[in-house]
C-alpha cells in the first residue's frame, strides 16, 4: 500500500446517502483493496456537529485504507486537490414532488461548487453529481467551471440501470448478473428510458427471453421510471443505501475497463451523439478503458425508443431553460 492516496470530496456528507457511502469508500469498495483514500467531507455549517459524529465513526472503523479525513463547510478547503468530487449535498424531494421541482432549491448550490472545483481541485478531477435533479445540477456546475474539461462531468443514472436490471432478472427468473447491455437514456426523472430492446439476458435479446411485450412496454418501463417515488412512498425518505451503492458502481464503471461487448449508464455532456442537443447532460450507454469513457455509437433505436428518447431530451431542454440565469454566457 505505497500508492499515493486518492482525494475524494463528498458533499452532503452528513446526509442519508453520505452515511452509507463514506464507509463503502473507506473500506475499499470504490477504488479497490490496495488504494488508500483521503475523504474530504463537505457540509453546510449547521450540519458540522453531526458530521463530527460521522468522523468519529469513520475513525472507529479503523479502515487501513483511510489515510485522512477533512471535514469542512469551506468549499475551497473541501475541494482542495481532490481527484474526485461526489456532489451529493442538497435537499431530497418529498412524496408528491417531481425531482425537477428541486431546481429552485438546489440549483444555486452548484454554481459555487462548480467555481470552487475549478479553482481548487487536482488537474485530473472528475465530478459525479447525485443531488437532484442531478442532470441539470451537473449542467449548472459544469458551466460554472469552464476550465474543467466537459468530459470529466457526470450525473448518476446507474441507480436506474440497476433498478432495470433487477426487474428484468426477476421476470426472467435469472440471477441479475445475467442481465447486460442495459442503457438508460436521458434524464434521471420519470421520463428516463430504460432501453430493453438493446439489453440482453444471458447473451440473448431481452425481447426473446421475455416474450411479454406488453409487460416490457408498460409495466417494466413505468416501474423503473417510478422506482424512486415508490421508495419515497414506502420509506417516507428517498433511496439512500441503493443510491450510495450506485455511486460506488458508477465510479468503478468509469475507472475500470468495461467488459467486452457490454456498457454502463451514466449521464455525460452530450457531444450530439444520437442527435441529442449538444451540452445537455444526457444519460447514454458508455464504455470505459479505465481512464477515459466513450459513448457507445451505432445502437439501433426503433420508433418506440426514439419517441421515448425525444421525450426525455425535451424535458432536459426545458430544465436547462428554467436555469438559464445560472449558466454564465
Ligand atoms: P439528506 O437530506 O439526507 O442529506 C443531504 C445533505 O446535504 C444534508 O446533510 C445537508 O446538510 C447537505 N447539504 C445541503 N446543502 C448543502 C450544500 N450547499 N453543501 C453541502 N452540503 C449540503 O439527503 P440524501 O437522501 O442524502 O439525498 C441527497 C441528494 O441526493 C438529494 O437531492 C436526493 O434527491 C439525491 N438523490 C439522487 C439520486 C440519484 O440517483 N441521482 C438517488 C438518491 C438521492
Ligand atoms: C431516486 O431515484 O431514488 C432518487 O433520485 C431520489 C428520488 O427523488 O427519487
Q: Identify whether the C-beta of residue 88 lies closer than 8 Å to the C-beta of residue 11.
A: yes
Ligand 1: atom nearest CA of 109 is 18
Does ligand 2 have an atom closer than 6 angstroms to the CB of 159? yes
Does ligand 1 have an atom closer than 6 angstroms to the CB of 249? no
Ligand 1: atom nearest CA of 75 is 19
Does ligand 1 have an atom closer than 6 angstroms to the CB of 243? yes
pLDDT along the chain (329 residues), means of 10: 90 98 98 98 98 98 98 98 98 90 94 98 98 98 98 98 98 98 98 98 98 97 98 96 98 98 98 98 98 97 98 98 94
Does ligand 2 have an atom closer than 6 angstroms to the CB of 12? no
- Long-range CB pairs of 267-274, under 8 A, 24+ apart, other chains included: 267/134, 267/135, 267/138, 267/154, 267/155, 267/156, 267/157, 267/187, 267/188, 268/151, 268/153, 268/154, 268/293, 268/295, 269/139, 269/142, 269/150, 269/151, 269/153, 271/295, 273/297, 274/299, 274/301, 274/309
Does ligand 1 have an atom closer than 6 angstroms to the CB of 14? yes
Choose one of 9, 15, 43 to mutate for the ligand 1 pocket test, by most ligand atoms within 8 angstroms of C-beta: 15
- Residue closest by Cα to atom 3 of ligand 2: 228
Residue 303, C-alpha cell as written in the block: 420508433
Q: Identify whether the C-beta of residue 184 lies closer than 8 Å to the C-beta of residue 198.
A: no
Q: What's the pLDDT at 329?
A: 84
Q: What's the pLDDT at 1?
A: 59
Residue indicated by cell numbers 452509507: 20
Which ligand is nearest to the Cα of residue 247, counting in written order? 1
Ligand 1: atom nearest CA of 12 is 7
Whether 40 is catalytic: no
Ligand 2: atom nearest CA of 159 is 2
Which ligand is nearest to the Cα of residue 94, counting in written order? 2
Q: 167 CA to middle of ligand 1, Å?
A: 26
Residue 44, φ and ψ in degrees, nearest 5 = -80, 155
pTM here is: 0.98
Choose one of 47, 50, 91 to mutate for the ligand 1 pocket test, by most ligand atoms within 8 angstroms of C-beta: 91
Which ligand is nearest to the Cα of residue 226, counting in written order? 2
Q: 101 CA to middle of ligand 1, Å?
A: 14
- The number of residues in the chain equals 329
Q: 239 CA to middle of ligand 2, Å?
A: 6
Does ligand 1 have an atom closer than 6 angstroms to the CB of 15? yes
DSSP designation for 252: H
Does ligand 2 have an atom closer than 6 angstroms to the CB of 238? yes
Q: Identify whether the C-beta of residue 141 lies closer than 8 Å to the C-beta of residue 153.
A: yes
Q: 270 CA to middle of ligand 1, Å?
A: 25
The strand pairing partners of 42, in sequence order, are 11, 72
- Residue closest by Cα to atom 4 of ligand 1: 15
Amino acid at each position: 500500500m505505497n500508492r499515493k492516496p486518492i482525494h475524494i470530496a463528498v458533499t452532503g456528507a452528513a446526509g442519508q446517502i453520505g452515511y452509507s457511502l463514506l464507509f463503502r469508500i473507506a473500506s475499499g469498495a470504490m477504488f479497490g483493496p490496495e488504494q488508500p483514500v483521503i475523504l474530504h467531507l463537505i457540509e453546510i455549517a449547521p450540519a458540522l456537529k453531526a458530521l463530527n459524529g460521522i468522523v468519529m465513526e469513520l475513525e472507529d472503523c479503523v479502515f487501513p485504507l483511510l489515510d485522512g479525513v477533512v471535514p469542512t463547510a469551506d468549499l475551497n478547503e473541501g475541494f482542495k486537490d481532490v481527484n474526485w468530487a461526489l456532489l451529493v449535498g442538497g435537499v431530497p424531494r418529498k412524496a408528491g414532488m417531481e425531482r425537477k421541482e428541486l431546481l429552485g432549491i438546489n440549483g444555486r448550490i452548484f454554481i459555487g461548487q462548480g467555481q470552487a472545483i475549478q479553482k481548487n481541485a487536482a488537474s485530473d478531477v472528475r465530478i459525479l453529481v447525485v443531488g437532484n435533479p442531478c442532470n441539470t445540477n451537473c449542467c449548472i456546475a459544469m458551466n460554472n467551471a469552464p476550465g474543467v474539461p466537459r468530459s470529466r462531468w457526470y450525473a448518476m443514472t446507474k441507480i436506474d440501470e440497476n433498478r432495470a436490471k433487477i426487474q428484468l432478472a426477476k421476470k426472467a427468473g435469472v440471477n441479475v448478473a445475467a442481465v447486460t447491455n442495459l442503457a438508460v437514456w436521458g434524464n434521471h426523472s420519470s421520463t428516463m428510458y430504460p432501453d430493453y430492446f438493446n439489453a440482453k439476458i444471458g447473451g440473448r435479446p431481452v425481447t426473446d427471453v421475455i416474450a411479454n411485450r406488453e409487460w416490457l412496454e408498460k409495466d417494466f418501463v413505468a416501474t423503473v421510471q417510478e422506482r424512486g417515488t415508490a421508495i419515497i412512498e414506502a420509506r417516507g425518505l428517498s433511496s439512500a443505501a441503493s443510491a450510495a451503492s450506485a455511486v460506488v458502481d458508477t465510479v468503478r464503471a468509469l475507472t475500470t475497463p468495461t467488459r467486452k461487448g457490454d456498457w454502463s449508464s451514466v449521464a455525460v455532456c452530450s457531444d450530439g451523439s444520437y442527435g441529442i442537443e449538444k451540452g445537455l447532460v444526457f444519460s447514454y450507454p458508455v464504455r470505459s478503458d479505465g481512464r477515459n469513457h466513450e459513448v457507445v455509437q451505432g445502437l439501433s433505436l426503433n420508433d418506440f425508443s426514439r419517441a421515448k428518447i425525444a421525450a426525455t431530451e425535451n424535458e432536459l431542454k426545458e430544465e436547462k431553460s428554467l436555469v438559464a440565469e445560472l449558466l454564465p454566457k
